A and B are shown apart, each in its own frame.
Chain A
Amino acid sequence: MAGGIERKSINRTHGPDAPHGEFHRVGKRARKVDGIGKATGQAVYADDIQLPGMLHAKTLRSPHPHARIVSIDTSKAEALPGVHGVITGADMPTKYGVIPWTPDENALAVDRVRFVGDEVAAVAAVDEDTANAALRLIEVEYEVLHPYLDPKESLERHDPAIHEGNKKGNISKHVELEFGDVAAALASSAHVIEDDYAFHGTAHAPIEPHCAVAQAGHDGVLTLWSSTQIPHYVHRALAKVLDIEAHRIRVIQPHLGGAFGGKSDPFYFEFCACLLAMRTGRPVKFLLTREETFYTHRGRHPMDMHFKTGCDADGKITAVDSKILIDGGSYSSFGLVTTYYAGQLLCGPCHFPTYRFDSTRVFTNKPPCGPKRGHGSVQPRFALEIQLDRLATKVGLDPIEFRRRNFQGSNVETVNGQTVTSNGFVECLDTIETASGWKDKRGKLPRGRGIGMAGSMYISGTNYAVYPNDMPQAGIVVKLDRSGLAMVYTGTSDIGQGSSSVMATIVAEELGLRMDQVRVVAADTDLTPVDLGAYSSRITLMAGNAAVDASRKLRKQVQEAVGEHLDVPAGRVILADGWAFDAQDGDKRIPSREAFELAESKFETLAAAGSYNTPERGGDYRGGTIGASPAYSFTAHAAEVEVDFETGEIHVEKVWIAHDCGRAISPVQVEGQIEGSTYMGVAEVALEDHAVFDDPAHPEAGLHMRPSLLEYTIPTSVDTPELEAHIIESIDPEGPYGAKEAGEGPLHGSLPAVANAIYDATGVWMTKLPFTPGKVLAALRAHESGTPTGEEA
């Protein structure tokens, strides 16, 4: 307890019910609050901001994967006409990192560069061409160091260490946790599957490249507009690195063109834009090129995974044992959390009585990895779900039946001490089984065609706030106006997932308004209370509860005032669809605008704050709150594939997804999240590969192999399978009206479902992503010739 202050309980959950008997807004198919602005070009994104006198900034980057900076001479660049500011690492020596325990980043490199593309200097000039010309005039002398491009080498060797002074050599984080006696359970298992799995590394590739605009007001207020999904953490990091009191900094997130976790670190360009704006006295825009977004990265970690899973003769899982090597790239980013998530998030929807994981994240001289949609758990989930299918095959059970048999149930504690509340996984299984025609297809399709499935779970936010504090995780303010408008001030970042629409829907529901009677101001640190940001799928549950909390305070006031006016008990006053009326006599009614006036007359200016913090959750051990969530979503995927035996190409024809999101506050948006997640997961199976050249003997060592949207092939319309989304509503006690997350869970099963379908189609277990046609072809040939390969144990 900080300073002896007892933390006030603000875990206000509000039950699953509609505030007025039936839902008027929640669960309805409605337009999004920002849809038409985006469809007409009115929505303003960071690069759409043009300020008078604005300068343009660019970054000088390291051409070496690992080198010591011997000297930097910026004098020629500074002398170039049109150049207004040149900065280097010496200007911002304070280290930072999104996780406060691992601050190992500098806004610009200090002494050392750690990947090709690492940031060395920044220039602000009258236009981009001049800034680019100035970069070429900066002279940097490097002493090239040994590049670490293989994570296994980083395990064994650390001379020189990538981060000097790291007591663990080149190890970024190591976590080893065991729950129960895994060795004994495996020894007594009827069946054990043991195999190696690999995930290769992928990028978020949002269509909007990162961009920030900074303005240093002459009133002493520094304003940053940035394409960030974590304005609050950026705010804190700016204060620390720039050494400015936080109250003199304002961070605004304009409309954001996709993020997927890739915009959830404080970034160099944000610090540089600010410092250059402060130095020059002029607004500064920092827009990345597409290539630069691949260096900025924070994509999904490559992982080498060894998994051992046992079950008894009836197909009951006995133990899961994993050892995972994680390639973190050059900096920590969220890596501490990633290392935990790689183990902590697997303990459902199937129950296992014993569990051990041993995860090690190492540094390499590659662009830094971080959180991508389904942070930390997509890779081990891929391994685990293939293991489960193989066990099912051994036992002679249908894969769906195998999972039913191992279903953990609702309101249970997992083996690693997490609390699962609602759990609609069995309904998810039933749904995909029926929708996909599973029983007529599994094992019955012609050779080369197959169907496979997978299950998964994911968090709805985490108890682990990235910096320890006793304040709410989510705060919101609702103000009612005499015009009949409800204004919602929320720190949440709408990154396209629709959080502003969800907040508006909740406030409209609670206060009985039409959607046009609610407007949302979001993600502006001056105007909105703190919300920790768009990550860990936390907003709907956490900020949603805060929105209900604030709205109910106001609802009570409005009901009382209207009750008095209509001369009925306050409890009989219903607020719905822009009206306040007597539940027993619908003719007794007044428009909401008048109701708000009555309430303002009776009480005071109508505004209320709402807050949310998590209930006590998590295991009683170090790291026990990491991955602990108030509620978990569950998903089942079924994928039908066609494998071309001549080319090794996998065509994913269709994916059926059933996702338990608790209450679907906005069904259209939930479907969108399910479809988008699954699209993104399927893309990671064969098409997408974020890789650097890794042979240190070659001059291309450390260079990114595919730093463009031509080479990094994200699927087009004609490459995307048919997607059929089903919503399962388990109604959770913790979420607003019972809602849980929908944005990340439905990605996980996409990958193993395809792998399991390939087995059904071909009899081959593919285990090492990406499933490039060449790899698939080699595995098929080995299978046909009876030669066991690494792909097939």
Chain B
Amino acid sequence: MRTLRFRLNGDDAEIAAPDHWTLLEVLRYRAGLTGSKQGCDKGDCGACTLHVDGKSVLSCITLAADVDDREVTTIEGLVGPGGPDVVQDCFDESGCLQCGFCQPGMIMAARQLVTEDPNADRDTIKAALASNLCRCTGYTKIYEAVENACKRTLAGDTGRGGRLADLGGGGDEARAGRESA
């Protein structure tokens, strides 16, 4: 058992865990951050992908002890005060989310790509996501989501609150509906 100290989604975290626990286990079962998923047990599927120092890694084959002093960002950590991140919003908007189980990992992989190469073409996108298995979509709409996230990023759109803005939309009817409430 050791006390792990690292940055977790922007906060200082101190979590006690046995030495042989993976980062995924510590996050899910000790920190209660269950957004990162476990699909294959050993690095074959990518559902557990999250960021250590901004880079996508497979947390089911990362020892929690190995991220001491590092910056860990999970799918939950992408959400800011204004709402979901632009990549999250684009995944939602594209309709590529089916069962959703691979998506936290897929989104973290996409998030790194969009940050590093918002001009990525489709082949680059495919290559960047090639550690993340999706069983529902045939990937097609995922590419569309990532391409849209790239486009919006280049246009300076952070995506924060995109869906809520959508919901609040509906023009004057919605406003009138809210006002009359």
Residues of A whose CB lies within 8 Å of any CB of B are 29, 31-32, 34-45, 47-48, 50, 204-209, 255-260, 289-291, 484, 495-498, 514-516, 577-579, 591-594, 668-669, 671-672, 675-676, 678-680, 708-710, 714, 716-718, 720, 722-723, 725
Contact = CB atoms under 8 A, between A and B. Distances in A.
- Leading 4 A-B pairs by shortest Cβ distance: A41-B35, A496-B99, A257-B101, A38-B100
Given A41-B35, A593-B181, A716-B129, 6 more contacts: A35-B100, A209-B38, A593-B177, A676-B135, A678-B138, A716-B132
Which among B32, B34, B126 has the greatest number of chain A C-beta atoms within 10 A? Answer: B34
Interface string B138-181: 11111100000000000000000001001100100110110011
A591 B170 CA distance: 13
Given A40-B75, A679-B137, A709-B40, A35 B92 contact: yes
B101 A41 contact: no
Contact of A41 (B42, B104, B127): B104
A207 B39 CA distance: 5
B44 interface: yes
A209 B98 contact: no
B13 interface: no
A207 B102 contact: yes
Contacts of B163: 31, 36
A13 to B, nearest CB: 27
B133 A709 contact: yes
A409 B47 CA distance: 45
Contact of B92 (A36, A208, A497, A717): A36
Given A496-B99, A718-B127, A41 B34 contact: yes
A356 B101 CA distance: 43
A579 B102 CA distance: 38
B92 A207 contact: no
Contact of A708 (B44, B141, B170): B44
Interface string B9-30: 0000000000000000000110
B100 A496 contact: yes
A495 B98 CA distance: 8
Nearest to B145: A39
A206 B35 CA distance: 17
A716 B140 CA distance: 12
Nearest to B40: A709
B176 to A, nearest CB: 6
A204 B33 CA distance: 27
A207 B141 contact: no
Contacts of B174: 514, 578
A591 B177 contact: yes
29 contacts: A35-B97, A35-B100, A36-B92, A38-B100, A39-B103, A41-B34, A48-B28, A50-B32, A205-B135, A207-B101, A207-B133, A209-B38, A209-B39, A258-B98, A258-B101, A259-B99, A290-B39, A514-B170, A593-B180, A594-B180, A669-B95, A672-B95, A678-B138, A679-B137, A709-B39, A709-B40, A716-B130, A717-B134, A723-B140
A676 B133 contact: no
Contacts, number: 209
A374 to B, nearest CB: 15
B130 to A, nearest CB: 5
Contact of A31 (B95, B127, B133): B95
Contacts of B88: 36, 39-40
B111 to A, nearest CB: 11
A257 B37 contact: yes
B84 A39 contact: yes
B76 interface: yes
Contact of B137 (A47, A256, A676): A676
Contact of A29 (B74, B95, B134): B95
B36 A717 contact: no
Contacts of B38: 47, 209
B139 A679 contact: yes
A36 B170 CA distance: 19
B140 A675 contact: yes
B75 A41 contact: yes
Interface string B39-69: 1111011010000000000000000000000
B133 A716 contact: yes
B78 interface: yes
Interface in B101-120: 101-104, 107
